[in-house]
């Protein structure tokens, strides 16, 4: 009896191993042929929404077209220099018992390094501050990156993502696309899926992949 059970188990194991090593192409659906932007590739176009920082547009002074005075990504040298200076003022303010002076200095340095990142109450940039254009950047082989303003909520950015997905369909002959959200970008993807769940565009999303998402998984499901 035990020998028979072992033989059956061995047969099942062999079947499982055989299936697992079969060429993927035998099991997979036929791969599409897509043409767009002068290229042809054997997969659906992919729109990638990366995480906080990786796909954020740059923020800089309007009169600085070379972007040497970036507020975002943060100028590390400027930030380090300000932190070093703050250390000197801390010692002086404690020694001279002048806490108000320290507060003023810290505020000025924080504003110098980070302050212009803030938005006006109506969601516009502070005067003299501009950003790179929000939208798609093509990486080749049917792959796009979606760049957004990190200061806005995912619910605000998902409208721009919707327009960019339309752009991909306009640029290619693809019937469907793949959508990938990574880290904070997954929040934008899920906001988009909620906002546009009943649209024709959502029916054309072949695959959605969330990588290391900063989303409450069970709540989302």
pLDDT 10s digits, 162-200 = 999 999 999 999 999 999 999 999 999 999 999 999 999
**H helices within the chain, ranges in order?**
2-20, 24-27, 76-96, 99-113, 154-171, 184-195, 200-203, 217-220
Residue 116 has pLDDT above 90, yes or no: no
Give pLDDT, residue 212. 86
Length of the chain as a residue count: 221
Going by C-alpha positions, the residue among 42, 22, 46 that lies closest to residue 32 is: 42
pLDDT 10s digits, 36-77 = 999 999 999 999 999 987 899 999 989 988 888 788 887 777
Against a cut of 0.75, is the pTM above it?
Answer: no
């Amino acid at each position: 009896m035990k020998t028979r059970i072992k033989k059956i188990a061995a047969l099942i194991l062999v079947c499982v191993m055989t299936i697992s090593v079969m060429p993927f192409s035998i099991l997979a659906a036929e791969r599409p042929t897509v043409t767009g932007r002068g290229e042809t590739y054997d997969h659906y176009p992919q729109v990638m929404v990366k995480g906080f920082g990786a796909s954020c547009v740059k923020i800089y002074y309007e009169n600085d077209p070379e972007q040497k005075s970036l507020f975002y990504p943060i100028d590390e040298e400027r930030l380090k220099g300000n932190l070093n200076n703050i250390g000197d003022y801390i010692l002086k303010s404690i020694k001279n018992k002048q806490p108000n002076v320290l507060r003023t200095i810290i505020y000025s340095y924080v504003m110098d390094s980070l302050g212009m990142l803030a938005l006006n109450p109506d969601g516009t940039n502070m005067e003299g501050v501009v950003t790179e254009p929000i939208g798609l950047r093509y990486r080749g082989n049917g792959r796009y990156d979606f760049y957004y303003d990190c200061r806005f909520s995912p619910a605000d950015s998902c409208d721009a993502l919707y327009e960019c997905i339309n752009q991909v369909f306009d640029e290619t002959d693809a019937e469907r696309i793949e959508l990938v959200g990574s880290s904070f970008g997954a929040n934008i993807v899920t906001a988009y899926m909620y906002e546009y769940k009943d649209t024709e565009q959502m029916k054309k999303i072949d695959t959605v992949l969330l990588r290391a998402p900063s989303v409450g998984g069970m709540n989302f499901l």
